[in-house]
Amino acid sequence: MVRYIRRAAALCLVLLVALLVNAARVMVFEADSLDDDPANRRIAIERYAKPRGEIVVDGKPVTGSRDSGQQLRWERTYRQGPLYAPLTGYASQTYGTTLVEHAEDGILAGTDPMLAPLPLWDDLTRGRQPGGDVVTTIRASLQEAAFRGLDGKRGAVVAVEPSSGRILALVSSPSYDPGVLSGTGQGVKDAWRRLNTSPNQPMLNRALRQTYPPGSTFKIVTAAAALDEEVVRDVDAPTDTPDPFVLPGTRQVLPNEATGCGDASLASAIQWSCNTVMAGLGVKVGLAGMVDAAERFGFNDTGLRVPSWVAKSNFDREMSPDQLALSSIGQFDTTATPLQMAMVAAAVANNGEIAHPYLVDRTTTSRGTTVNRTGRRSYRQAMSPATAMRLQRLMVRAVEEGTGTNAAIPGARVGGKTGTAQHGFGNTGTPYAWFIAWAQADDAAQPAVAVAVVVEDAEASRTDISGGGSAAPIAKAVMEEALRLEAEARNPRPAPPVPGPSLRLPVRPSGSRSVPPGR
């Protein structure tokens, strides 16, 4: 009898060990695959069991959370959603996350280990911290000025601080309200379908993810290459470029919108945007030199993050001489994001160096303790400081006496370059209007802002499209606001006196020296 009991006990022990081994297999070896299984709703329920952290602009949150009362409890809300959508992106229980909502998801959702008070704290307690906050570099008044300037037209505006790389404004138009995608249900699916089928593509981030032919704004890159390669030594000397100019190896004549471009100097070519001069200089620099120059500005970089990913701006590495001539004036296959062209303007303003652009100033816990702060990083040395100084003078002349006069600001030194980019089959599409610029107050030590504006106005007549007419006024409004904020920061207004009881000072003996309080 005892023998049978021992056998039964041994069998039970074997079964118990088998259960423990299987439990260990599930918890240790299969945990990740089970967590990632779409049928496992526990992860989603836990993810939305607490409010999400906030995205902050100028000290105020532009996001929020709403208790839906559903199984996936907390839904994302957005304040002034269309204004900040190109920055925030969306956080949807149905369609996931994009832009800053995606790039900083760990902080916002409370899953980043850096939010825990001690290492491995969340693993030991099996808990999760409240969502942290993401403090952006965006200035609200600049964002609003850019948004008003586009006024619903298709296009984008990017403004950066040249010395630091801080992105001060990031606008894409037309925009959308990310809040309509936050929850679940048929309404969210209908909104998704409506936004994705709209011919205006409101969910396309034109500032970071759309590339355009940069047109004549690219001539700044070509001018930098010509000066650095010493193809041009004197910016006021004739360039020996004929008008009309026949593209090398072809019979095609390259036209000019401006007059007086025959044998014009580099200074005149920038001031009046002469195609022939800049195309000829690009050919003289040569393919290798132009590719090298463009890539120093950031073209062909597939790894740029701000922290959201940025589309690659393109400058072909293999071209025939006629294609190189067209590429040197921002046509052929040359394309750029508005961010890229803002970086071109910033390079000129910042003595040839491009600071790495970034959108997130710092991340914090829900209580405001800093988790991580973005430091200034150098991105590229686009040109020599001497070349940058010469281009500064040429861009200032273009605003004071050339094609960019609509961007002039009293009391400030403004440098700019217009562009009208052809596109479409046979260049039959309505041109894109471009303007890139930078601005420095007369009493400031360095430029406050660099900006790029592109406008796709499909409703306008081709003859009414120009960078100086369509894009420069928008850039001017943004730069004026940046200069105002910088002036306030340099010369803060004294705080108003705090009302309080009157203070009776002691009477000093005659002849004594009175010393003001606080000295």
pTM (2 decimals)? Answer: 0.86
Output the pLDDT for position 517: 38
Q: What are phi and psi of 345, to 5 degrees?
A: -65, -40
Whether residue 329 contacts residue 275, with contact meaning beta carbons closer than 8 Å, is answered with: yes
Catalytic residue positions? Answer: 216
Per-residue confidence (pLDDT) for residue 508, from 0 to 100:
43
- pLDDT score for 41: 64
Tokens matching residue 179: 């809040």
So what's the pLDDT on residue 20? 79
Provide the H-helix boundaries in 70-139.
Answer: 81-88, 99-103, 105-109, 121-125
Q: How far is CA 112 from CA 48, 106, 327, in A?
A: 15, 5, 45
CA torsion 507→508→513→519, rounded to 10°? -50
| Average pLDDT, 10 consecutive residues per value, the chain (519 residues) | 76 81 69 60 74 96 91 91 97 95 95 74 59 97 98 96 98 97 94 96 97 96 98 95 92 90 94 95 97 98 97 98 96 96 98 98 94 96 98 97 95 95 56 95 95 78 56 97 94 67 44 38
Q: Following DSSP, what letter does each residue of 398-412 receive, concatenated? A: HHHHSTTGGG--TTE
Question: What is the reported pLDDT for 423?
Answer: 54
Amino acid at 93: Q
Beta carbons within 10 angstroms of residue 397's beta carbon: 17
> DSSP 3-state assignment of 296?
helix
